[in-house]
Chain A
């Protein structure tokens, strides 16, 4: 398996008032294509910061990030946005759907963003993604009309519809009951197997860790165990 991400000696320091706080502390890490990696660590260990850096929504203070072999450490905002749009899928703990859009439209949004599909292509692909997460009956429902599990399925469909090279998930089952969480995990695993997408998920959920091919444990902004 080839590497999709390489983080070399990456640090991230935040200023809390006048006090510098190191969230990541010289972290070196590689993620391979098609692997399912779980990220674990206590609260404040730097999990979310690492996800943000890998997701290209936060730039590191020091170090180098290579995405598909390209150094993106100092890439401008335009390029980073394009990479997020085309290559990275996000699944958030709070689902983060757009409330004024229906389930189907939330999925379509990811495709309209790319501005390269016709109306019919958008509708067809989005409907396919909604069907793949078993929500075709709820396609026209707004997020407020869906259960937590259904919302997370929509979020997964939104992340997968553009066939990303990596999906970054932050505690995707934290707000779900165990049965629904199990369904979501099965779904992620199935889609990962079908699409060979890298899945990088921060979790406290043992079920996810059991399913992962690789577990990365971090502590104080450093890799503790891999």
Chain B
């Protein structure tokens, strides 16, 4: 027999096995439906969970960026390591030229703001509390840092020069209300003390405990006068395009070229808690996935094995009339793969339906670590994860057929024939 004839005969045999496998799946509708449901539920659960993680990540990312970080921050080398020792040695002046270059050479910006950061004592009536002060460009920050919500009174951008905007919990501790006058006491660049009376125009709430409990904002130009400095140590930027990662490399080049003493930090480098929190969530989902896969695999193997045990007599007949063990195993494995593929595809559809039909409005979660306000999660279809989830489930559910296939291929023919009635 020539080679191509032999190959064709083998292909015919595989096609025949495939046809028989397909018919066997349809043979016991209820049992196949149970297996398909187990696989589909596992796939749907994994897709919904991944969409939840994506939603958490997206919302959390947005909140972090718009609370206090922007997409990137530009500082002088050493500022982040030494700022407490020499707080005013890293000032950046004339940053408007830097903005022009970034917009011209990298991408259009929706946010560019300099920030002064300092430690100061807030005094109201007989109460004094320390806090982190920020000298900000109020109008610019109000547009971009949308998580900073006015809790009482009005935003700093709507106040006069001598205004202060205080974290709502800090204001509560001071027992101050909008319209009250308070004093900010700081150490200046030269080491002397300086104080300024400011009107508290409002309180803010970000949901980030650290900010709400211990920080306040004043106009940057006032902070320059108060601290006796020029410029500010931090330049915060936000791109119009929210996919900021694609600009990072070019931004680094442009900033280094503009002034080699400057460095760029991505918001994730600054907000380490983001990666910690997401790592925590993803680990949980990973464990959940493993549990789902184990449960689904056990269910599939059990149901599949029950079906095969009922067909044991058939396998005995097949073996008796000359079917090789590997062909029996292949036929069962094909059934398993067909079933897992079909179940997984149904699961993708089911997952999509749950995300787009039942969870359209998202869910509200309790505050995550380091935050104080509930957190609304919108479920996002995990397009990038679907092929992997599909492949994983086809593989695992298909793989669940390996043991039954192996067992049935090794049955004692005489014993199996005895099952034919």
Residues of A close to B9: CB separation below 8 A: 114-118
B414 pairs with A94, CB closer than 8 A? no
Q: Does A99 contact B (CB under 8 A)?
A: yes
Q: If A57-B413, A92-B417, A96-B420 touch, does A118 touch B5 (CB 8 Å cutoff)? A: yes
Chain A residues within an 8 Å CB radius of B313: 96
Please give, as numbers and ranges, the residues of chain A lying within 8 Å of B1 by CB-CB distance.
116
Binary interface profile of A, 139-154, with partner B (CB < 8 Å = 1, else 0)? 0000000000000000
- CB-CB under 8 A for A58 and B413, given A81-B323, A122-B12: yes
One digit per residue, 1 when the CB lies within 8 angstroms of any chain B CB and 0 when it does not, for chain A 4-29 equals 00000000000000000000000000
Is A52 in the interface zone, CB < 8 Å from B?
A: yes
Known contacts A98-B318, A115-B10, A118-B5; is A78 also within 8 Å of B20 by CB? no
**A69-109, CB under 8 A of B: which get 1 and which 0?**
00000000110011011101110101010111100000011
Q: Is B127's beta carbon under 8 Å from chain A?
A: no
- For A58, the chain B residues whose CB sits under 8 A away are 413-414
**A-B CB pair tally, cutoff 8 Å:** 87
In the bound complex, what is the Cα–Cα distance between A116 and B322 (angstroms)? 14
One of A77, A78, A85, A117 near B321 (C-beta < 8 A): A85
Please tell me if the beta carbons of A112 and B320 are within 8 angstroms of each other in the complex. Answer: no
In this assembly, does A110 line the interface, its C-beta being within 8 Å of a C-beta of chain B?
yes
Give the chain A neighbours of B319 by CB distance below 8 A: 57, 81
Specify which chain A residues have a CB less than 8 angstroms from the CB of B12 in the assembled complex: 112, 115, 117-119, 122
A101 neighbours in B (Cβ, 8 Å): 20, 23
Partner of A94, one of B5, B324, B421: B421
Bound-state CA distance A88–B10 (Å) is: 21
Closest to B314 in A: A98
Also in contact, A98 and B322, with CB within 8 A (given A116-B1, A116-B6)? no
Question: Does B20 lie within 8 Å of A98, measured CB to CB?
Answer: yes
Instruction: Report the minimal beta-carbon distance from B147 to chain A, rounded to whole angstroms.
Output: 62
Residues on B with C-beta less than 8 A from A90 are: 317, 320-321
A94 to B313, CA, bound (A): 10
B16 at the interface (CB under 8 A from A): yes
Find out whether the CB atom of A99 lies under 8 angstroms from the CB atom of B16. Answer: no
A113 within 8 A of B: yes
Given contact pairs A90-B321, A100-B23, A100-B24, A109 touches B414 in the complex (Cβ within 8 A): no
Contact among B20, B322, B417 for A85, CB-based, below 8 A: B322
Take A57-B413, A115-B6, A115-B13 as given contacts and tell me if A99 and B322 are in contact as well, using a CB distance cutoff of 8 Å: no
Residue B27 lies at the interface, judged by CB distance under 8 Å to chain A? yes
Q: Counting CB contacts under 8 A, is B325 at the interface?
A: yes
- Give complex CA distance A96, B24 in Å: 16
Interface centre among B1, B6, B27, B321 (most CB of A within 10 A): B321
Number of interface residues of A (CB under 8 A): 35
Q: How far is the CA of A100 from the CA of B28 in the complex (A)?
A: 11
A-facing residues in B373-409 (Cβ within 8 Å): none
- CB contacts (< 8 Å) of A55 on chain B: these are 320
Contacts of B322 in A (CB 8 A): 81-82, 84-86, 88, 110, 113-114
B190 lies within 8 A of chain A by Cβ: no
A47 within 8 A of B: no
Nearest-neighbor residue (CB-CB) of A83 within chain B: B322
Query: Taking CB as reference atom, which chain A residue is nearest B315?
Result: A98
CB-defined contacts of B8 to chain A, threshold 8 Å? 118
CA distance A85 to B317 in the complex (A): 12
Q: Which residue of A lies closest to B17 (CB)?
A: A112
A92 proximity list for chain B (CB < 8 A): 317, 417, 420
Question: In the bound complex, how far is the Cα of B417 from the Cα of A109, in angstroms?
Answer: 18
Report if A222 contacts B (CB, 8 A).
no
CB neighbours (8 Å) of A85 from chain B are 321-323
Distance in Å from the Cβ of A202 to the closest Cβ of chain B?
A: 13
* Residue ID in chain B nearest A122 by CB atoms: B12
Pick from B20, B321, B414: contact of A158, CB below 8 A.
Answer: B321
Q: What 9 A-B pairs come out closest when comparing CB atoms? A: A85-B322, A100-B23, A96-B317, A84-B322, A115-B9, A57-B413, A94-B420, A112-B16, A115-B13
24 contacts between A and B (CB under 8 A): A52-B413, A55-B320, A57-B413, A57-B417, A58-B413, A58-B414, A81-B324, A85-B321, A86-B322, A88-B322, A92-B420, A98-B20, A98-B317, A99-B27, A100-B23, A110-B321, A110-B322, A114-B9, A115-B6, A115-B9, A115-B13, A116-B6, A117-B12, A122-B12
- A interface, CB within 8 angstroms of B: 52, 55, 57-58, 77-78, 81-82, 84-86, 88-90, 92, 94, 96, 98-101, 108-110, 112-119, 122, 158-159
Residues of chain B touching chain A, judged by Cβ–Cβ distance below 8 Å, are: 1, 5-6, 8-10, 12-13, 16, 20, 23-24, 27, 313-314, 317-325, 327, 413-414, 417, 420-421
Given contacts A57-B320, A108-B16, could you give 20 more A-B pairs where the C-beta distance is less than 8 Å? A57-B319, A57-B413, A78-B324, A81-B324, A82-B322, A84-B320, A84-B322, A85-B323, A86-B322, A92-B317, A96-B417, A98-B318, A100-B27, A110-B321, A112-B12, A113-B321, A113-B327, A116-B5, A117-B9, A159-B321
